[in-house]
């Protein structure tokens, strides 16, 4: 089944509103093996809607339309579809009952405009919208399915999940699709591509590998599809283990994992605690760690040392060390990590010291130079990175790299523990 | 000039990625009076791209394409456009120099794949992309403009702002549009609407007011358009001063201002310094402050006190105070702000203590309860807020409210200074 999405609304074309409806619908359809081959956005104009809809009717088996179902004058989707499919509007009692019910609950009076919302094309199936006043509409015309939904995201979400997807499932011949995201960090996309090129050539036709890069992180999406569930999952397992063999510990998680959730899980499992001392990342590292619900179990706290005075007085870094090697140095970042670990009384500590930019760079230490140290009860290690010239990306990349260094340390510890 | 946008990418069709590029481009174009009448998303397939592009070439004067310019096998936009426009790929030295430069700065080796990215169609103008390895391309074919940009948002944003919009401005017949964003915080959108309703009825037809809500912040966009620049700017000035009269100090800035940049400016002007102590916001407040370039001039540092031990030992909050009133209390947040101000040796300090959730709430102090204190050399004040149940939104709203409290304090100080 080939599907397409048609979003109607001037607010989308002017850029005032980001089109989150399209991705929500696409994900819902993807989940039942229906793939979207086209997403179009057009204005609240009858001619534009008809023009694009006619194209979609030629190319797609299923068309999901959002928007233009409100009570105001510029909402014209219902009239346009009624006319296009040669139908007539008629009063639909269950939809009106739903509207009465909604207004009663909120203690509001019903207007004539609201009554108009219960007028529906006589050839459609009404999809009762308990979240709003505009019902959804399901048309079947010339063996095509056309579904019209309101554009308000939570109303559309409700109708997709409760009314549309269950009905579509019955119509769709099930193709099994297995999918997983593998999350990597520390390798640029082009390096990953070089590492995986030979392996990609061996993938069978029903298999896809997609690269989804973000600052500091590249996600790989592996998809295998087919008619036989057993065969598809066997194939998937083989490919997954090959991929993991090639990339090893450069994969830090899967699907909705984040580096901060992965290190959180590792710390909880090991019953270990963490503190941080950060300069150039200015609190962003602590923010990532504490954005995980329940992080107070393992995270005691952090110090943002944005001045040498704070490094010296609060973090007790020897001023002579700062004088001799500079604040951005192996010596200082090691002292920061060891000292914060001690006075926060934690098992592990991360320290970051670097030049975020735009100012503060030098020939020896250009903008983007960042020292990261990981201290534990047994050891301390420091590493230098360069993350480029852009301040905000620098901050993000440095925090991600620091979390990754901690992850590698925690995982190495696992290896060490299992050997002893 | 009629414009359309064509976004290429399987990740958009599967719903994995929300299409923020379309709204960014539409907003940029809207800013120079070019309106978008159509936005289409298609797969990384040459046939699909050509099919939709041909439609756009019939209907639009300007087509902006994003995506499919990366170094991997599934990126085929460049080859497709080269073929469609009857051109040939040739090596483009300035683009290669840019790639070399990027890799050198990050200490990475250049691969053959990267060299391929400097091969460009011989009939296009190259748009040098200092943010990434894929150059943008500007085609002029049969009096239509076709622009191809990378799909990575920050690379596309850069090219739109620095390369595309300035070039387009020269080609567009100018309708004068004056526009400004007014940034407010602390008032929900519906309250703002109530306050502005009567005034909005007095606006003339060539004037628009749009509400753009974000968590904790509502932006108001005032637009006045017309053919006569003088008339338009006079009208704009009148409306602006009326709007400022109604909202007073609830407007904290305009256009690209942020609360953190506004307080930064105020602190620089007054030659004052700042430190922070935060619990529930977990570093996010310090992160916002330090995301401003040059913030090290006025920001000394911060403490993230995620455990009572850190509050007691590092922030020297009397454990009996925590015992008696709880960590989330007026008494504790005041002590946090005064103590951090003293040992960080700053003129001002912000402290935040609250329940971010999902756990940790009680009947007295439900999830979302947040105490915020502002300490200065002369005074200290604390205020309680409730930001609701959603952890991430809570963190954001608390940090924004804290910055706003500091702003109001600094501005009151101005008033006080000018009276004395």
In this complex, the residue of A36, A188, A300 whose CB is nearest that of residue B309 is A300
The verdict on a CB contact (< 8 Å) between A17 and B11 is no
Q: What is the pLDDT of residue B177?
A: 83
**Searching chain B, which residue's CA lies closest to the CA of residue A344?**
B310
Q: What is the pLDDT of residue A176?
A: 79
Q: What is the DSSP letter of B249?
A: G
Alpha-carbon distance of B97 to B116, in angstroms, equals 13
Q: What crossing angle do the helices spanning B189-201 and B229-247 adopt, rounded to 10°?
A: 130
pLDDT tens digits for range A309-320? 999 999 999 999
In this complex, the residue of B15, B286, B295 whose CB is nearest that of residue A30 is B15
Residue B99: pLDDT over 70: yes
Q: What is the phi-psi region of residue A146: left when phi exceeds 0, alpha when psi lies from -120 to 50, beta otherwise?
A: beta
The verdict on a CB contact (< 8 Å) between A306 and B291 is no
The verdict on a CB contact (< 8 Å) between A190 and B111 is yes
The verdict on a CB contact (< 8 Å) between A38 and B48 is yes
Question: For A219-223, A412-416, B122-126, B147-151, which range has the lowest pLDDT when averaged over its residues?
Answer: A412-416
Choose the mutation target among B13, B152, B211 for the interface with A, i.e. most A CBs under 10 Å.
B13
Residue pairs spanning A and B at CB distance below 8 A: 272
What burial class does residue A238 get, using C-beta atoms within 10 Å of its C-beta: 0-12 exposed, 13-18 middle, 19+ buried? Answer: exposed
Which residues in chain A are contacts of B287 at CB distance < 8 A?
281-284, 286-287, 395
In this complex, the residue of A221, A286, A310 whose CB is nearest that of residue B301 is A310
Alpha-carbon distance of A100 to A82, in angstroms, equals 24
Q: Distance (Å) from the C-alpha of residue A395 to the closest C-alpha of chain B?
A: 8
Residue A420: pLDDT over 60: no
Going by DSSP bridges, is the β-strand pair B35-42/B274-278 parallel, antiparallel, or unpaired?
unpaired
**Searching chain B, which residue's CA lies closest to the CA of residue A22?**
B15
Mean residue pLDDT of chain A comes to 92
**Searching chain A, which residue's CA lies closest to the CA of residue B42?**
A38
Choose the mutation target among A210, A282, A403 for the interface with B, i.e. most B CBs under 10 Å.
A282
The verdict on a CB contact (< 8 Å) between A37 and B36 is no
Going by DSSP bridges, is the β-strand pair A299-305/A369-375 parallel, antiparallel, or unpaired?
unpaired
Choose the mutation target among A6, A304, A368, A401 for the interface with B, i.e. most B CBs under 10 Å.
A304
In this complex, the residue of B52, B300, B309 whose CB is nearest that of residue A309 is B300
Residue A415: pLDDT over 80: no
Which residue pairs from A241-248 have beta carbons closer than 8 angstroms and sit at least 24 positions apart in sequence?
A: A242/A199, A243/A182, A243/A196, A243/A199, A244/A182, A246/A195, A246/A196, A246/A199, A247/A182, A247/A184, A247/A192, A247/A195, A247/A196
Write the DSSP assignment of A184-247 as a string of letters.
EESS-HHHHHHHHHHHHHTS-TTEEEEEEEETTEEEEEEEEEES-HHHHHHHHHHHHHHHHHHH
Most distant pair of Cα atoms in chain B: their distance: 79
Q: What is the pLDDT of residue A215?
A: 82
Q: What is the DSSP letter of B328?
A: S
Choose the mutation target among B72, B258, B346 for the interface with A, i.e. most A CBs under 10 Å.
B72
Residue A109: pLDDT over 80: no
What is the interface pTM, i.e. ipTM, of the complex? 0.79
pLDDT tens digits for range A123-147? 999 999 988 889 999 999 989 999 9
**Searching chain B, which residue's CA lies closest to the CA of residue A2?**
B13
Note whether B405 and B379 are within 8 A (CB): no
In this complex, the residue of A212, A286, A290 whose CB is nearest that of residue B16 is A212
Alpha-carbon distance of A178 to A254, in angstroms, equals 14
Q: What is the mean pLDDT of residues B7-32?
A: 92
Q: What is the band of A30 on the pLDDT scale with cuts at 50, 70, 90?
A: confident
Note whether B254 and B365 are within 8 A (CB): no
Alpha-carbon distance of A366 to A402, in angstroms, equals 19
**Could you tell me which residues come within 8 angstroms of residue A209 by beta carbon, excluding any fewer than 6 positions away?**
A196, A200, A203, A220, A221, A222, A223
The verdict on a CB contact (< 8 Å) between B301 and A300 is no
For residue B299, report the phi and psi dihedrals to the nearest 5 degrees: -105, 115
Mean residue pLDDT of chain B comes to 92
Q: What is the pLDDT of residue A73?
A: 64
Q: What is the pLDDT of residue B396?
A: 94
Q: What is the pLDDT of residue A72?
A: 67
pLDDT tens digits for range A154-179? 899 999 999 999 999 888 876 778 88
Q: Which helix or strand (DSSP H or E) is residue A404 part of? A: helix A391-419
Note whether B354 and B280 are within 8 A (CB): yes
The verdict on a CB contact (< 8 Å) between A37 and B344 is no
Residue B250: pLDDT over 70: yes
Nearest to A347 by CA among A288, A292, A233, A269: A269
Residue B316: pLDDT over 90: yes
Which residues in chain A are contacts of B71 at CB distance < 8 A?
189-190, 193
Share of chain A above pLDDT 70, in %: 97
Residue A74: pLDDT over 70: no
In this complex, the residue of B23, B293, B304 whose CB is nearest that of residue A18 is B23
Q: Distance (Å) from the C-alpha of residue A376 to the closest C-alpha of chain B?
A: 19
The verdict on a CB contact (< 8 Å) between A289 and B282 is yes
pLDDT tens digits for range A211-235? 888 888 999 999 998 888 899 999 9
The verdict on a CB contact (< 8 Å) between A27 and B14 is yes
pLDDT tens digits for range B183-205? 999 887 778 888 998 999 999 99
**Could you tell me which residues come within 8 angstroms of residue B299 by beta carbon, excluding any fewer than 6 positions away?**
A282, A306, B273, B274, B275, B286, B289, B290
**Searching chain B, which residue's CA lies closest to the CA of residue A192?**
B72
Residue B418: pLDDT over 70: no
Alpha-carbon distance of B45 to A137, in angstroms, equals 32
Going by DSSP bridges, is the β-strand pair A2-8/A35-42 parallel, antiparallel, or unpaired?
parallel
In this complex, the residue of B25, B107, B111 whose CB is nearest that of residue A386 is B107
Buried b / exposed e along A348-361 (16+ C-beta atoms within 10 A): bbbbbbbbbbeebb
Question: For A87-101, A321-335, A397-411, B165-179, which range has the lowest pLDDT when averaged over its residues?
Answer: B165-179
Residue B71: pLDDT over 80: no
In this complex, the residue of B72, B113, B291 whose CB is nearest that of residue A395 is B291
pTM to 2 decimals? 0.80
Q: Which helix or strand (DSSP H or E) is residue B410 part of? A: helix B391-419
In this complex, the residue of A38, A301, A306 whose CB is nearest that of residue B310 is A301
Nearest to A99 by CA among A134, A137, A149, A151: A134
Write the DSSP assignment of A14-82 as a string of letters.
TTSS-BHHHHHHHHHHHHTTPEEEEEEEE-S-HHHHHHHHHHHHHH-SEEEEES--SSSTT--HHHHHH
Q: What is the mean pLDDT of residues A59-67?
A: 96
Most distant pair of Cα atoms in chain A: their distance: 86
Q: What is the pLDDT of residue A70?
A: 76
Q: Distance (Å) from the C-alpha of residue A378 to the closest C-alpha of chain B?
A: 23
Quick one: CA dihedral A24, A26, A27, A29, positive or negative? positive
Question: How many beta carbons lie within 10 A of that of residue B143, not counting itself?
Answer: 6
Alpha-carbon distance of A283 to B401, in angstroms, equals 18
Residue whose pair of structure tokens reads 């870094």 in the numeric block: A317
Please tell me whether the peptide bond between B185 and the residue prior to it is cis, using omega within 30 degrees of 0. Answer: no
Residue A55: pLDDT over 80: yes
């Amino acid at each position: 089944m080939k599907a397409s999405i048609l979003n109607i609304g001037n607010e989308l074309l002017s850029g005032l509103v980001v089109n989150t409806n399209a991705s929500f619908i696409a994900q819902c359809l993807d989940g039942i093996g229906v793939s979207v081959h086209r997403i179009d956005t057009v204005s609240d104009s009858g001619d534009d809607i008809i023009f694009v809809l006619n194209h979609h009717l030629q190319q797609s088996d299923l068309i999901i339309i959002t928007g233009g179902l409100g009570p105001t004058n510029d909402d014209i989707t219902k009239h346009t579809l009624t006319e296009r499919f040669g139908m007539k509007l008629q009063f639909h009692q269950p939809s009106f009952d739903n509207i009465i019910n909604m207004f009663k609950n909120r203690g509001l009076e019903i207007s004539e405009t609201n009554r108009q919302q219960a007028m529906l094309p006589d050839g459609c199936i009404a999809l009762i919208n308990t979240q709003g006043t505009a019902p959804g509409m399901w048309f079947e015309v010339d063996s095509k399915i056309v579904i019209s939904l309101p554009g308000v995201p939570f109303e559309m979400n409700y109708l997709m999940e409760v009314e549309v997807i269950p009905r579509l499932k019955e119509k769709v011949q099930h193709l099994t699709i297995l999918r997983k995201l593998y999350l990597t960090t520390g390798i640029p996309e082009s390096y990953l591509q070089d590492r995986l090129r030979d392996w990609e050539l061996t993938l069978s036709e029903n298999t896809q590998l997609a690269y989804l890069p973000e600052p500091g992180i590249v996600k790989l999406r592996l998809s295998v599809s087919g008619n036989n569930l057993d065969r598809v999952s066997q194939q998937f397992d083989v490919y997954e283990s090959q991929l993991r063999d090639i990339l090893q510990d450069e994969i830090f998680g899967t699907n909705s994992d984040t580096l901060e959730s992965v290190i959180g899980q590792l710390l909880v499992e090991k019953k270990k605690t963490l503190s941080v001392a950060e300069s150039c990342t200015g609190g962003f590292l602590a923010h990532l760690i504490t954005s995980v619900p329940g992080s107070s179990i393992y995270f005691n706290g952090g110090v943002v040392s944005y001045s040498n005075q704070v490094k010296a007085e609060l973090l007790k870094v020897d001023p002579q060390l700062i004088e001799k090697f500079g604040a951005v140095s192996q010596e200082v970042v090691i002292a920061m990590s060891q000292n914060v670990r001690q006075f926060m009384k934690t098992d592990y500590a991360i320290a970051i010291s670097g030049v975020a930019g735009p100012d503060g760079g030098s020939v020896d230490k250009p903008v983007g130079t960042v020292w990261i140290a990981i201290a534990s009860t047994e050891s301390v290690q420091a590493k230098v990175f360069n993350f480029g010239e852009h301040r905000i990306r620098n901050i993000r990349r440095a925090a991600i790299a620091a979390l990754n260094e901690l992850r590698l340390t925690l995982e190495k510890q696992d290896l060490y523990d299992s050997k002893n």
